[in-house]
Amino acid sequence: MKRKSENEKRKLEKCKKNKEAKKEGRNAADGMVEIAVGMYLLVILMILAAVQLQVRLFGITSAQAEDALAASGLASAVADLKEYGISHMLVIASADNAYAVYKEALRQNLNLNGDGEVPNKDLISGAVKIENYSIYNVREDQVTIYSYGEDGECHQSVEENGRGRITAPDGTLIENTSVYSRIKFPVKGILGVTFQARKEKTVDIIRN
């Protein structure tokens, strides 16, 4: 009876130890799950913070680019004073000269170097390129369009009844002599992913 009692006692102790070991194992597993969840949430928060910062920086860069386009467009609108004195029509004198002035003004307004790049490449990671520069000279109802592409070649066309009917590529209605321009530039995104961004602006040289 005594030996049987000792055996039962050993079995109870062994069973108790097994239960304690299982409990410790469950506690350890629960602890690992909590750590994993905590790390996952931390990573998510870091990604969200990075996204918010990226959006804020891109918003600032976008606003600066739009201001630069507007200022450069106005700088390039060198009026033909002789024609204005005769017909009181405000038009841009020389398309080629205006395009040259625009390129130099854009370089200065965006602080571009000789390669067309900004010194700080945290966001704009490469060269800024002029994708389109167009002049809309309005005389009466006629609109003469001078359009320059990336190759720098000028293409001229005339819309006889274009005033108040045609639009610039950004949808702006052409009612007075105007300048439209669009630039593109690579933007460094989250995790080093780079994508092409574009910014466009039409400037009415009479209203602006």
Report pLDDT for 156. Answer: 97
- Looking at the chain, the whole-number percentage of residues with pLDDT higher than 70 is 75
Report pLDDT for 170. Answer: 96
Q: Which residue has the higher pLDDT, 202 or 28?
A: 202
pLDDT (average), residues 120-131: 85
pTM for this prediction: 0.74
Please, what's the largest Cα pairwise distance for the chain?
130
Cα–Cα distance between 202 and 205 in angstroms, integer?
9
Kindly report the average pLDDT of the chain as a whole number.
83
Given a cut of 90, whether residue 153 has pLDDT beyond it is yes
Model confidence pLDDT, tens digit, residues 38-95: 777 777 776 666 667 666 666 667 788 889 999 999 999 999 888 888 888 899 999 9
Binning the chain into helix, strand and coil, the percentages to the nearest 5 are 50, 25, 25
Given a cut of 60, whether residue 27 has pLDDT beyond it is no
Report pLDDT for 144. Answer: 97
